[in-house]
Amino acid sequence: MQDSYRHKGLRRKLIESIQSKGIKDKAVLAAMNKLPRHFFMDKAFEEIAYQDKAFPIAAHQTISQPYTVAFQSEQLQIKPRMTVLEIGTGSGYQSAVLALMGARVYTIERQEELYQFANNMFKKLNLPQIRTYFRDGFNGLPEFAPFDRIIVTAGAAQIPDKLIRQLKIGGLMVVPVGEGVQTMMRITRISEKKVTCTALEEFRFVPFLKGTVSRK
């Protein structure tokens, strides 16, 4: 894996583009400027990896648009050593951004092919603060709950109650809700029974599906 001066220059331009769209969190921008996005994509996409676009990856999934990654990361308001549950590892790019921001990441992927790819990538990048699980994301990780933050990287038909119960009081969850086009929701758990929900921008994600898919 090579991260050339050209790659770094393209990455700086991408960060400038993201900033121009309103992303201000310096920790988000620094993490994304440091992380080679092309490592998480097929070699065929290397020359266009730093465009602000989503691209296909294995298992009929996508690597999210960089602006989307930055937006969700900024909304989480990460502080070092926070525990973050991520639903939908995908390529692993979002997990790595959060880890470089100082979070301890627990990430779940339902597609075994993607789970294996991301797990290997985290080892190559020396990111031991990311723990990966091949499971159904609808169930979360109750054995490690409660989490400071939860991020869902797939479009949920409705806000997942089971995940809210795994959020610390005072914690935040960021989840795209809706079918087709989703509204990004930021949910704050106020008490055992009370949450507040804030509707943010609209995005397009692959659907949040139940079950697991083993590698063929």
- Which H/E stretch holds residue 206? none
Inform me whether the pLDDT recorded for 1 exceeds 90. Answer: no
> Is 64 considered catalytic here?
yes
| β-pairing verdict for 167-177 and 182-189 | antiparallel
The residue type found at 25 is D
Would you say residue 59 has pLDDT above 90?
no
Q: Which of 37, 15, 35 is nearest to 25 (CA)?
A: 15
What strand order describes the sheet that includes 195-203?
Answer: 130-134, 104-109, 83-87, 147-152, 167-177, 182-189, 195-203
User: Over the stretch 151-185, which tens digit does the pLDDT of each residue have?
Assistant: 999 999 999 999 999 999 999 999 999 988 999 99
What are phi and psi for residue 149, nearest 5 degrees?
Answer: -140, 150
| pLDDT in the model for residue 14 | 97
Q: Which of 4, 64, 191, 214 is catalytic?
A: 64
Q: Using 50, 70 and 90 to split pLDDT, how confident is the model at 118? A: very high
Residues 17-30 have pLDDT tens digits of 999 999 999 999 99
Residue 216 predicted with pLDDT over 80: no
DSSP category for residue 156:
B
* 16 has a pLDDT exceeding 80: yes
Determine phi and psi for 31, rounding to 5 degrees. Answer: -65, -45
